[in-house]
């Protein structure tokens, strides 16, 4: 049943982007330093008493450890353009089939054919192999991959407007990557290719090693093969 | 112990980075004015200390915005005035010159300005309920938590505020008709 004020409500909702507010201050450092100061014992005791009373009044409410709730909260929006991360585990196939590929090309060929500007992390040096995956009828690829260090490090890039991969990783977390947010998958996880028609190619599902995912200027990047976050971030920031 | 704590803080900092801007926007729209940054900081500190009460049903954003709204009300109480009555602090942004359909844009802009003007002329609690429900996109339940009133009150107040807003808009249209 339509509400009498639906039109007005729609207008109010549309108003939001037109309202300019002053820029917000960066609160990270201040909030961290305030939270690093221990709460005074007296107050803590009062807090404890208050929560104990609350617990009695409200009967049984499972209170999760703060850490778990933080991770839960962080994990609710795990989506970087073109990649969806589902916080679940799923075993991949024993011998996954590779992405439909044109095989190895030179970096120049990749730059000519890709529908976006191909960038590579400077810290990794020249790639050992460059591949173009899933070309259309005109030979324009969807994914450009560069392989380094004897195949242990893999760097994929693709236009972020297309859903290209989805990942299943229970332990995925948001990290701050300079100008934007990115997702860090610290452990092995399932990686499935989503083709042009939006179909998940389950045959391509494979176990990927730790991966950092981020987006810049409508291109999504996937850096696989660093076991810890800091070198992965440093590599990501060397993109040029 | 201290390492676990710093691990928590690291994870929390990601949340702080992500939600500072929406929290600040909410504080400004609810009338915190120049104190919006202080309100946000207070809310972020309180949110961390109350994380054990967060049960993740509707997401971190509405939960945090409810704390921001609460802090904004505390602010009004302590200084006994409201800054920039809700939307006064917020200016209507100018349309970009290359936007399509200049006539449409001008009309739409006039309409938006009228809407904001009339929204401002509503009673404070009517403004608050409309800001929470439609500008901050909070549910009735979340709005109730944010404004510290029962859900039924949110429902009736929203209906009344919308009716008043429409009345004001109509009253303005009469001279042109």
B92 close contact with A: CB closer than 8 A: yes
Mean pLDDT of A181-189: 78
Range with the poorest average pLDDT among A2-11, A75-84, A137-146, B111-120: A75-84
pLDDT of A100:
66
- Tell me chain B's radius of gyration from C-alpha atoms: 19
Contact B24 A31 (CB under 8 A): no
| DSSP letter (8 states) at residue B133 | I
Distance to chain A for B113, nearest Cα, Å: 10
What are the distances in angstroms from CA B6 to CA A49, B3, B12?
25, 5, 10
Q: Which of A2-11, B9-18, B89-98 has the highest mean pLDDT?
A: A2-11
- A83 pLDDT tier (thresholds 50, 70, 90): low
pLDDT of A28:
87
| Chain B residues 112-141 within an 8 A CB cutoff of chain A | 112, 115-116, 119, 130, 134-135, 137
pLDDT of A234:
92
Q: Which residue of B has its CA nearest to A33?
A: B9
Pairwise CA distance, residues A86 & A189, whole Å? 10
pLDDT of B54:
64
The two tokens of residue B144 are 């109730």
Residue A209 pLDDT > 90, yes or no?
no
Mean pLDDT of A162-188: 70
Mean pLDDT of A128-157: 87
List the domain boundaries for chain A: 78-237
Q: Which of A23-37, A38-52, A179-193, B54-68 has the highest mean pLDDT?
A: A23-37
* Residue in A16, A18, A37, A233 to test binding to B, most B beta-carbons within 10 Å: A18
Q: Where are the alpha helices (DSSP H) in chain A?
A: 6-15, 28-36, 41-57, 66-75, 107-113, 229-237
- A92 pLDDT tier (thresholds 50, 70, 90): low
Chains A & B: contacts with CB separation below 8 Å: 147
10 Å Cβ neighbour count for A132? 22
Residue B165 with chain A: CB contacts under 8 Å: 8
Q: Which of A68-77, A100-109, A150-159, A224-233 has the highest mean pLDDT?
A: A224-233
> Which helix (H) or strand (E) covers residue B11, if one does?
helix B2-29
pLDDT of A18:
76
pLDDT of A80:
47
Compute, in degrees rounded to 10, the torsion defined by CA atoms A219, A233, A70, A76.
Answer: 20
The two tokens of residue A209 are 């090693």
pLDDT (tens digit per residue) in B24-82: 999 988 888 888 999 999 999 988 877 766 655 566 788 889 999 999 988 887 776 55
Pairwise CA distance, residues B11 & A178, whole Å? 16
3-state secondary structure A147-198: EEHHHCEEEEEEECCCCCEEEECCCCEEEEECCEEEEEECCCEEEEEECCCC
Pairwise CA distance, residues A38 & A40, whole Å? 6
Q: Bigger pLDDT: A111 or A219?
A: A111
Range with the poorest average pLDDT among A63-67, A101-105, A109-113, B121-125: A63-67
Distance to chain B for A204, nearest Cα, Å: 32
Pairwise CA distance, residues A109 & A131, whole Å? 10
Residue A174 with chain B: CB contacts under 8 Å: 14, 18
Range with the poorest average pLDDT among A119-128, A135-144, B79-88: B79-88
Nearest to B12 among A15, A16, A70 (CB): A70
Q: Does domain B2-176 have CATH number 1.10.1040.10?
A: no
pLDDT of A34:
87
Q: What is the ipTM of this complex?
A: 0.81
pLDDT of B12:
76
- B101 pLDDT tier (thresholds 50, 70, 90): low
- A162 pLDDT tier (thresholds 50, 70, 90): low
Report chain A's mean pLDDT, rounded to a whole number.
Answer: 72
Nearest C-alpha neighbor of A170 from the set A74, A88, A92: A88
Residue A55 pLDDT > 50, yes or no?
no
| Chain B residues 44-83 within an 8 A CB cutoff of chain A | 44-45, 48-49, 51-56, 59-60
Length of chain A: 240
* Residue in B35, B48, B172 to test binding to A, most A beta-carbons within 10 Å: B48
> Which helix (H) or strand (E) covers residue A203, if one does?
strand A200-208
Pairwise CA distance, residues B177 & B161, whole Å? 24
SS3 A131: strand
**Burial class for B133, CB neighbours closer than 10 Å (0-12, 13-18, 19+):** buried
The two tokens of residue B3 are 């390492």
A19 close contact with B: CB closer than 8 A: yes
Q: Where are the alpha helices (DSSP H) in B30-150?
A: 36-49, 60-79, 102-121, 124-130, 140-147
Range with the poorest average pLDDT among A79-83, A186-190, A221-225, B134-138: A79-83
Residue A229 pLDDT > 80, yes or no?
yes
Distance to chain B for A185, nearest Cα, Å: 14
Contact A89, A170 (CB under 8 A): yes
pLDDT of A123:
94
Pairwise CA distance, residues A111 & A116, whole Å? 8
Mean pLDDT of A132-145: 85
Report chain B's mean pLDDT, rounded to a whole number.
Answer: 78
* Residue in A9, A19, A32, A177 to test binding to B, most B beta-carbons within 10 Å: A19
Residue B163 pLDDT > 50, yes or no?
yes
| Chain A residues 53-112 within an 8 A CB cutoff of chain B | 61, 63-67, 69-74, 76
């Amino acid at each position: 049943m339509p509400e009498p004020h639906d039109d007005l409500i729609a207008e109010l909702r549309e108003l939001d982007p037109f309202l300019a507010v002053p820029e917000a201050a960066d609160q990270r450092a201040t909030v961290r330093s305030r939270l690093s100061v221990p709460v005074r014992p007296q107050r803590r005791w009062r807090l404890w008493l208050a929560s104990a009373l609350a617990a009695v009044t409200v009967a049984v409410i499972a209170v999760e450890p703060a850490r778990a709730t933080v991770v839960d909260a962080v994990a609710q929006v795990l989506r970087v353009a073109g990649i969806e991360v589902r916080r679940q585990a799923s075993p991949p196939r024993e011998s996954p089939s590779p992405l439909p590929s044109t095989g190895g090309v030179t970096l120049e060929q990749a730059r000519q054919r890709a529908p976006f500007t191909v960038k590579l992390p400077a810290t990794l040096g020249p790639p050992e192999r460059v591949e173009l995956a899933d070309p259309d009828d005109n030979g324009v690829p969807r994914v450009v991959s560069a392989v380094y260090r004897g195949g242990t490090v893999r760097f994929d890039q693709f236009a972020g407007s297309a859903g290209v991969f989805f990942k299943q990783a229970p332990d995925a977390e948001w990290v701050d990557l300079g100008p934007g947010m990115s997702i860090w998958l610290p452990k092995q996880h399932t990686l499935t290719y989503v083709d042009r028609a939006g179909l998940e190619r389950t045959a391509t599902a494979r176990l990927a090693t730790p991966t950092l995912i981020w987006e810049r200027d409508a291109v999504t990047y996937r850096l696989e093969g660093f076991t810890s976050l800091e070198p992965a971030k440093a590599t990501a920031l060397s993109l040029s | 112990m201290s390492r676990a704590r710093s691990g928590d803080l690291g994870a929390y900092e990601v949340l702080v980075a992500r939600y500072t801007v929406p929290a600040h926007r909410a504080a400004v729209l609810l009338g915190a004015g120049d104190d919006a940054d202080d309100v946000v900081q207070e809310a972020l500190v309180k949110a961390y200390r109350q994380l054990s009460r967060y049960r993740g049903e509707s997401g971190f954003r509405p939960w945090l915005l409810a704390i921001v709204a609460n802090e904004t009300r505390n602010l009004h109480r302590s200084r006994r005035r409201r800054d920039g009555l809700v939307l006064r602090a917020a200016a209507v942004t100018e349309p970009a010159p290359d936007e399509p359909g200049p006539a449409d844009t001008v009309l739409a802009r006039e309409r938006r300005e009228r809407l904001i003007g009339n929204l401002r002329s509503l009673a404070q609690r009517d403004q608050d309920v409309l800001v929470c429900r439609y500008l901050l996109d909070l549910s009735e339940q979340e709005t109730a938590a944010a404004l510290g009133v029962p859900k039924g009150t949110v429902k009736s107040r929203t209906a009344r505020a919308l009716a008043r807003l429409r009345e004001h808009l109509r009253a303005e249209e009469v001279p042109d008709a």
